[in-house]
Structure 1
Amino acid sequence: MPQADALKTGPLETYNRRYSQRGLLNRYAEGRGRYFAYRQMTMAGLSALIGLLTFPLVGLVVFFVAFLGDMLDTVYLARSAPIGETARYRHVQVISTITAAIQALSLAFLAWSPSIFMHSEDHLHQAHATPLFTVGILVGAAINATVILPYHVSAGVTRLAIYGLTPLATIAIETVNGTGGGIADVQLFQMAGLGVLYFSVFFFVSFISGRYNRSRKNTLAMALQHKQLAQINAKLQAQQLQAQRLALVAENANDSVFLMDEEGRITWVNEAFTRITGYRYDEAIGKMPGTLLNGNDTDMAVVRALEKGRATGKPFRLEICNRRKDGQLLWLETNQVPMLRDDGTVETIIAVERDVTAAKQYEQQLKDARIAAEEGARVKSEFLATMSHEIRTPMNGVIGMAQMLERTQLDEDQKLYADTILGSARTLLSLINDVLDLSKMDAGEVILSEVDFDLPACFQQTLQLFEPQAQEKGITLELDIAPDVPRMINGDDRRLRQVLLNLVGNAVKFTESGGVRVAVSTSRVGDRLRLRFSVADTGIGIAKEKQDQIFERFSQADAAITRRFGGTGLGLTISRLLCEAMGGEIDVTSDPGKGACFSVHMRMQPATGSGLAEIADSAQHLGRSLDGMRILVAEDNRINRLLVEKYLQDEPVTLEFAMDGAEAMEKTPGFDPDVILMDMSMPVMNGLDATRNIREMDIRQPVIAALTANAFDSDREACLKAGMDDFLSKPINRDDLLAVLRKHSPAQGRRVVV
């Protein structure tokens, strides 16, 4: 057995286990059960004797009572053992004291029974012997109770009290009945005899208790001494084993190990020292490590730290750049431990050094790779921002002009052409948005904008977008919102709509008959809300082996699906990443040919109370008039200027245009605009610089809304930081443009910079 295990199970632990309160009670219970049969044989013999001297039935009754009392006590203790925790110990202690009293009463009944049944005329010649019989049984029982008294004090005291009171009760009854031979005789003889008996029992109890306590103290002292000896022995063995191991390690270690004296001179080196540094044993002895190993690349600050560490007399660790004997660069991780004399001075320094040159080179490679990756991410971000701007700018013209074309009088063919242009442009824009979203998520640039919003309205409005498509295909589109779902919650409703659009769009696209059902529920987890919704369809379904792949980017369940239904395979990837960003997850269950069910969990918050005010404020904005509003459009793209002009041609506003930021800054004081629609990317001066300059002018400050093709959250933050008030992303939707203008109409009040 290992030394540590021996200490855990040594005499002291055995003593604590045996002599603790629970240990003593367990030993008491074990003893009562072990000697139960012997006690029954003794009581059976005594009961048989009583039956012979009185009546057989009396013997049976006496044995039955004594047996029941003893069995009750023994069975309870047997069922309660082993006794563990403190609360259970106290419970068992109280109940076992009561069962001990019952057992003692049943034995007292056995001892007293001759005095009850031998006073008949048939047994008068034997009655004079009953007191001696009773006392004999009670003395034996008292001796037994005294022996087990240390194990269960309350039970032992209870038994002794009952055994001691039984003779007194007998004498008292005989005195009352007049069968005791007179009061004077009772006082002189019986009471004197009981006094001697009680004194003897008391002396015996004191003797047994004292002997028990002495034995317990001796056992404790021996256990403590044994533990101390075991600890000393274990320490000595550990020291010997450690010395042997250190000797083996030092001699055969792959790391360089050498010893130094108090001045820092090498006194011993192992073979690994020679292999790592190139210096032989005889070349190293008596030399200072720095004299051998320091080179031009060695950092002197590290050398000073090493010398300071040795001077403190405490273990230390550091890394140092050295040179091998052949001049090669050598990085060492040195761990030095001083061995002290009794007076605290350093006697020997043990140095263990590991060659970490390869690790340092790998670390440098990782650093270079990280720099290259960061540069690549920066270039990628710049490229995506440029592509976003360059693609969205013409897309703004295509979509905007197609929308304006739809508002004109068209014949059937022309309407078909316009719808096709608009649909294709929106598809292309969706693809651009998916690629940009995925790029932003990969770069960790997704910023959640958590606000109070109307949850049922969010789902209802999103599903309304697919009603024409569902009606055209002849499928149903159902929304089931649980009754306990709150109306207002706090979260990013824009990202929630994006996930819902992807899932419902896929469900409608892949369902030819039947329908699509969206179920919504919420639950509370502490002070948070957990939003759960599922999108189930009766469409083509997904094979089991493909279900793990559909959330991968540019992946669909089958190549034939791409040819038949189209799509990039990015929608589910983006949905999964958005769910994870909102502290949730998305999974799918499906059987081919029977449809699919996508389940989404998202972390939300209870509404803060601001959402209803925002909804009321938005409704108020919708009713505002644009009559008389002066609008300056800073846009370098001619098509975009024309598009804004067409969007607002039926509105009672005054428009002015600027080709770049510098021209916008020049026209602002004279034109006095209420709102400036400011493009971010323009020649001469960009929109951010123009905004900063306008904010420094001593004029009535206009509302400035960003008009940009850049779609990153960082762009939105840059606009707001520069002093802009709102943000419109290209391609611009006419309704979104009008909503922003109404929001900032003069009815809201004009800001003035003082």
Structure 2
Amino acid sequence: MSQADALKNGPLETYNRRYSQRGLLNRYADGRRQYFVYRQMTMAGLSALIGLLTFPLVGLLVFLVAFFGDMLDTVYLARATPIGENGRFRQVQVISGITAAIQALSLAFLAWSPSVFMHSADHLHQAHATPLFTVGILIGAAINATVILPYNVPAGITRLAVYGLTPLVAITLESIIETGGGMDEVQLFQIAGLGVLYFSVFFFVSFIVGRYNRSRKNTLAMALQHKQLAQINAKLQAQQLQSQRLALVAENANDSVFLMDEKGRISWVNEAFTRITGYRYDEAIGKMPGALLNGDDTDMAVVRALEKGRATGKPFRLEICNRRKDGQLLWLETNQVPMLRDDGTVETIIAVERDVTAAKQYEQQLKDARIAAEEGARVKSEFLATMSHEIRTPMNGVIGMAQMLERTQLDEEQKLYADTILGSARTLLSLINDVLDLSKMDAGEVILSEVDFDLPACFQQTLQLFEPQAQEKGITLDLNIAPDVPRIINGDDRRLRQVLLNLVGNAVKFTDTGGVGVAVTTSRVGDRLRLRFSVTDTGIGIAKEKQDQIFERFSQADAAITRRFGGTGLGLTISRLLCEAMGGEIDVTSDPGKGSCFSVHLRMQPATGANLAEVAASAQQAGRSLEGMRILVAEDNRINRLLVEKYLQDEPVTLEFAVDGAEALEKTPDFAPDVILMDMSMPVMNGLDATRNIREMDIRQPVIAALTANAFDSDREACLKAGMDDFLSKPINRDDLLAVLRKHCPAEGRSAAV
């Protein structure tokens, strides 16, 4: 039997089952059934005696009445018990009280019958003995009722009441019959004797009930004590079993386990301690762990933390660098738990140490790999920045001069050559921009500039760029903006244009018949706007199994597409990354030969009104004249200086050039420029240093606009931080250059004499 079963079937549970009201009633019923035959034998003997003293039929009648009353009580109890937890206890208790009354009345009839039947003329000489006979039987029955009273109180009280009232009723009836209601001296003495008898029975009942209660309390106390002892024993056995198991675990654990006394000396070690540290049991006992394991590489701050942790008497964990017996480096993760005495002092310290040398080495490898990766990313970033500058600088000259060439008088063949140069240069520039954008996104350097902007104008201006190409191919280019779309919203319009350019550019490129449609809708989600636009075309379409691949870098749906239409396969990758950066997503549905639909969902905000005045001012500045503006161009590349000169040769401005930052710094006080176009990368002094120095001069401060081939967002931030006011990336577009100059020119112009 398990400990749980022993507790479940222990003395307390047995006590509860036996001495509960249900348990007592069940025991009462068992006793009534068990002694039924003995009771009938007794009543049969008494009935036979009554029959011999009176008449045989009287004895038979008396027995039948007594038998019927006892059988009724016993049969009911046999059928109604045992009573379970859900049994009708109260009902059985009440009915058993009634059957007990019937049984008591039948026995009382047996006891009283001689007094009834011996008053005939034939038995007058025996009548004086009948009261003693009756009282004797009733006293015996009362004693039995007293003994079983605690088991069924209602039945016991009922029986005692019937047995006590029977002689009183008999004396009363006798007095009525003999004297007409009065009592003689004999009857009065009989009543007095009954009072003494009742008094004696009362004390007897009290004695029996008190003894029963004392016995019950003693039994309960013994049961509780036994249960407490059983629980203590079970706890001790469990602790002993746990100690045995812990000892087995400690001895066979893979981790080093050792015990130390209150002074920190080793008192026991397991086999893993020897395997990990190299020290045998006899070499470790009595030694301080630090004396065995500390080496030149051990951090003394960690050693002090160990000592402090042991002194506090609280569990602690830390890592420490040790040395094995053979001198090899050993990193240990130690968990130490002090065991305290009753007075709170340390008795034993349990130390569990795990060899984490491999993990530490792996951690160092990861750290080295991370440093190498960061260095690689830095080198990559520097390389891309350098390549961007070195490629954009000559590209600036190529594109700029090609644009200037287009403005001259050319014949058809010359115009074809100029268009070819410009188209190829722009294709190469687009490739450079895509690679740089992808590099910035991989490095997490995408910076969103959220401003209020005109949403319909953003889409209209972007689509206008593709109208010549669409007209040339004979396809339609439609824009459908829902009526409820707000005109001004807040977001990064530059990134939105970039996504739209990629999607519409692809749609126009891959569509030969039919057309391209752009649909724009918005919806509100709480206090934010959700912008949705779709670009639908009737082009070549995309196979279903290829649709997941088109957003991967350098990937197109078919290698033949690259040969036929060109492209790097980066446009959709960049669009997906930009959508994710703006808290949105992009997806595609397509059928080969029927066309494609790219859907974009972006999170925007309602217009804040913060820069609406700036937008209006920009519109006013677009028509301003540059007359009298003084411009200093700090540029080390001769071609770029020539290009700026050509761009502005028809404008009423005064130009001055500097070949490096130091020369720009020198010319600024005397020339007093309104605007300085400052290259970032120049010999002698770069543009950032030159800008900082100019900002420290006590002069009328000019507007300084960065004119650089460094196109990263970080470069833009560096320029603004140095004190520049605007940013132009190479290759420079003439329209962009004029827009920046008009943006910063005085409203009424500036005379050359200023």
TM-score (norm 2): 0.70
Q: Structure 1 173/252 Cα, relative in aligned 2: closer, same or farther at 3 Å?
A: same
Residue 333 of structure 1 deviates from its aligned partner by: 0.5
Residue 126 of structure 1 deviates from its aligned partner by: 50
Q: Structure 1 747/331 Cα, relative in aligned 2: closer, same or farther at 3 Å?
A: same
The secondary structure found in structure 2 opposite 1:352 is strand
After superposition, what is the alpha-carbon deviation per residue over 1:63-96, rounded to whole angstroms, capped at 9, x for unaligned? 9999999999999999999999999999999999
After superposition, what is the alpha-carbon deviation per residue over 1:402-453, rounded to whole angstroms, capped at 9, x for unaligned? 1111111111111111111111100000000000001111111111111111
Q: Structure 1 152/715 Cα, relative in aligned 2: closer, same or farther at 3 Å?
A: farther
Residue 306 of structure 1 deviates from its aligned partner by: 0.5
Who wins on radius of gyration, i.e. which is larger? 2
Residue 527 of structure 1 deviates from its aligned partner by: 2.0
Q: Structure 1 447/184 Cα, relative in aligned 2: closer, same or farther at 3 Å?
A: farther
Residue 353 of structure 1 deviates from its aligned partner by: 0.3
**Could you tell me how far apart the structure 1 residues matched to 2:654 and 2:254 are?**
84
8 Å CA contact 1:701–1:750 kept in 2: the answer is no
Residue 181 of structure 1 deviates from its aligned partner by: 34
The secondary structure found in structure 2 opposite 1:351 is strand
8 Å CA contact 1:441–1:577 kept in 2: the answer is yes
8 Å CA contact 1:400–1:733 kept in 2: the answer is yes
Residue 341 of structure 1 deviates from its aligned partner by: 1.1
Residue 462 of structure 1 deviates from its aligned partner by: 1.1
Residue 542 of structure 1 deviates from its aligned partner by: 1.4
8 Å CA contact 1:322–1:332 kept in 2: the answer is yes
8 Å CA contact 1:108–1:162 kept in 2: the answer is yes
8 Å CA contact 2:257–2:352 kept in 1: the answer is yes
Q: Structure 1 48/280 Cα, relative in aligned 2: closer, same or farther at 3 Å?
A: same
Q: Structure 1 735/209 Cα, relative in aligned 2: closer, same or farther at 3 Å?
A: farther
Show structure 2 runs of 5+ residues with no match.
Answer: none
> Greater CA deviation, 245-254 or 324-333?
245-254
Q: Structure 1 327/142 Cα, relative in aligned 2: closer, same or farther at 3 Å?
A: same
Q: Structure 1 50/587 Cα, relative in aligned 2: closer, same or farther at 3 Å?
A: farther
The share of aligned pairs that are identical, in percent, is 91
**Could you tell me how far apart the structure 2 residues matched to 1:79 and 1:485 are?**
87
The secondary structure found in structure 1 opposite 2:601 is strand
Residue 612 of structure 1 deviates from its aligned partner by: 2.7
Q: Structure 1 634/44 Cα, relative in aligned 2: closer, same or farther at 3 Å?
A: farther
8 Å CA contact 1:452–1:610 kept in 2: the answer is yes
> Greater CA deviation, 117-126 or 371-380?
117-126
Residue 535 of structure 1 deviates from its aligned partner by: 1.5
Residue 521 of structure 1 deviates from its aligned partner by: 1.8
Residue 519 of structure 1 deviates from its aligned partner by: 1.9
Q: Structure 1 54/267 Cα, relative in aligned 2: closer, same or farther at 3 Å?
A: same
Residue 206 of structure 1 deviates from its aligned partner by: 25
> Greater CA deviation, 189-198 or 51-60?
51-60
**Could you tell me how far apart the structure 2 residues matched to 1:362 and 1:554 are?**
34
Q: Structure 1 299/414 Cα, relative in aligned 2: closer, same or farther at 3 Å?
A: same
- Which residue in the other structure is 1:329 paired with? 329
> Greater CA deviation, 341-350 or 191-200?
191-200
> Greater CA deviation, 679-688 or 141-150?
141-150
Q: Say if 2:182 is the partner of 1:177.
A: no
After superposition, what is the alpha-carbon deviation per residue over 1:330-357, rounded to whole angstroms, capped at 9, x for unaligned? 1101000011111111111110000011
The secondary structure found in structure 2 opposite 1:124 is helix
8 Å CA contact 1:171–1:180 kept in 2: the answer is no
Show structure 1 runs of 5+ residues with no match.
Answer: none
The secondary structure found in structure 1 opposite 2:125 is coil
Q: Structure 1 284/737 Cα, relative in aligned 2: closer, same or farther at 3 Å?
A: same
After superposition, what is the alpha-carbon deviation per residue over 1:291-336, rounded to whole angstroms, capped at 9, x for unaligned? 1111111111111111111111000111111111111111101000
> Greater CA deviation, 53-62 or 714-723?
53-62
> Greater CA deviation, 407-416 or 219-228?
219-228
After superposition, what is the alpha-carbon deviation per residue over 1:176-203, rounded to whole angstroms, capped at 9, x for unaligned? 9999999999999999999999999999
Q: Structure 1 552/134 Cα, relative in aligned 2: closer, same or farther at 3 Å?
A: farther
**Could you tell me how far apart the structure 1 residues matched to 2:332 and 2:196 are?**
89
Which aligned runs of 4 or more in structure 1 are off by greater than 3 angstroms?
1-245, 748-754
The secondary structure found in structure 1 opposite 2:184 is helix
**Could you tell me how far apart the structure 1 residues matched to 2:587 and 2:470 are?**
24
**Could you tell me how far apart the structure 1 residues matched to 2:503 and 2:750 are?**
43
After superposition, what is the alpha-carbon deviation per residue over 1:364-392, rounded to whole angstroms, capped at 9, x for unaligned? 11111111111111111111111111100
Residue 482 of structure 1 deviates from its aligned partner by: 2.2
8 Å CA contact 1:388–1:709 kept in 2: the answer is yes
**Could you tell me how far apart the structure 2 residues matched to 1:387 and 1:694 are?**
29
**Could you tell me how far apart the structure 2 residues matched to 1:23 and 1:298 are?**
73
Q: Structure 1 562/227 Cα, relative in aligned 2: closer, same or farther at 3 Å?
A: farther
> Greater CA deviation, 401-410 or 34-43?
34-43
Residue 526 of structure 1 deviates from its aligned partner by: 2.3
After superposition, what is the alpha-carbon deviation per residue over 1:495-530, rounded to whole angstroms, capped at 9, x for unaligned? 111111111111111112222222222222222222
Q: Structure 1 305/24 Cα, relative in aligned 2: closer, same or farther at 3 Å?
A: farther
- Which residue in the other structure is 1:421 paired with? 421
8 Å CA contact 2:625–2:749 kept in 1: the answer is no
> Greater CA deviation, 587-596 or 657-666?
587-596
The secondary structure found in structure 1 opposite 2:602 is strand
8 Å CA contact 1:700–1:753 kept in 2: the answer is no
Residue 213 of structure 1 deviates from its aligned partner by: 21
- Which residue in the other structure is 2:526 paired with? 526
**Could you tell me how far apart the structure 2 residues matched to 1:284 and 1:308 are?**
22
- Which residue in the other structure is 1:697 paired with? 697
**Could you tell me how far apart the structure 1 residues matched to 2:296 and 2:151 are?**
79
**Could you tell me how far apart the structure 1 residues matched to 2:611 and 2:113 are?**
90
> Greater CA deviation, 600-609 or 209-218?
209-218
After superposition, what is the alpha-carbon deviation per residue over 1:460-517, rounded to whole angstroms, capped at 9, x for unaligned? 1111111221222222222222222221111111111111111111111111222222
> Greater CA deviation, 184-193 or 501-510?
184-193
The secondary structure found in structure 1 opposite 2:747 is helix
Residue 746 of structure 1 deviates from its aligned partner by: 2.2
**Could you tell me how far apart the structure 2 residues matched to 1:178 and 1:449 are?**
127
**Could you tell me how far apart the structure 2 residues matched to 1:219 and 1:675 are?**
108
After superposition, what is the alpha-carbon deviation per residue over 1:223-279, rounded to whole angstroms, capped at 9, x for unaligned? 999999999899778755643442232121111011111111111111111110111
8 Å CA contact 2:517–2:536 kept in 1: the answer is yes
- Which residue in the other structure is 1:135 paired with? 135
- Which residue in the other structure is 1:483 paired with? 483
8 Å CA contact 1:702–1:750 kept in 2: the answer is no
8 Å CA contact 2:100–2:155 kept in 1: the answer is yes
**Could you tell me how far apart the structure 2 residues matched to 1:515 and 1:68 are?**
112
**Could you tell me how far apart the structure 1 residues matched to 2:123 and 2:485 are?**
91
Q: Structure 1 19/552 Cα, relative in aligned 2: closer, same or farther at 3 Å?
A: farther
> Greater CA deviation, 221-230 or 475-484?
221-230
Q: Structure 1 267/481 Cα, relative in aligned 2: closer, same or farther at 3 Å?
A: same
8 Å CA contact 1:699–1:753 kept in 2: the answer is no
Q: Structure 1 247/166 Cα, relative in aligned 2: closer, same or farther at 3 Å?
A: same
**Could you tell me how far apart the structure 2 residues matched to 1:567 and 1:134 are?**
128
Residue 592 of structure 1 deviates from its aligned partner by: 1.7
Q: Structure 1 140/278 Cα, relative in aligned 2: closer, same or farther at 3 Å?
A: same
Q: Structure 1 185/284 Cα, relative in aligned 2: closer, same or farther at 3 Å?
A: same
Residue 581 of structure 1 deviates from its aligned partner by: 1.0
